[in-house]
Amino acid sequence: MSVGMNGIEGIEIRAFGLSDYDEAIALWRRCPGVGLSSADERLPLSAFIERNPGLSFAAWSEASLIGTSLCGSDGRRGYLYHVAVDPTFRGRGLGRVLAEASLGALAAAGVRKCHLFVLADNEAGAAFWRAVGWTPRGDIAVYSKNI
């Protein structure tokens, strides 16, 4: 679909595919607040996309990837990762459009709740998510373990 938002013409939102990988990694590296790990390497990300078809999206302006929304589901809850917009395209609603595309795909799959993770020191990210209607939770803690 082509999107015209606040004067941005020619933005194409499409399903995220492995062919987007190299440009996505470059985008995530230039976006403050996006935490990368071994889970973002080509093979694990490919498996993630295959397990969650149609839930992740990429935004393109001409030949440049300018935004992403990775999304997965365990069948009960959805999870958003790497909703990222190139710094030169921020403030125009593209992050919201990408997140809503993933939320719409989750709803179509029967998933009614979605979570996301924001690094504790990512104040801009936390402000964005609050501004677009997400509620921070203080009643849970996230624990991780490398295996």
> Would residue 146 count as lying in a domain?
no
> Would residue 138 count as lying in a domain?
no
Q: What is the CATH number of the domain that holds 77?
A: 3.40.630.30
What residue numbers bound the domain in which 55 lies?
A: 2-131
Mean pLDDT per segment of 10 residues, for the chain of length 147 residues? 52 95 98 95 97 97 96 97 96 94 97 94 93 94 87
Cα end-to-end distance, the chain, whole Å: 39
> Would residue 142 count as lying in a domain?
no
Q: Give the per-residue pLDDT at 8.
A: 59
Total of domains in the chain: 1
Question: Length of the chain, please?
Answer: 147
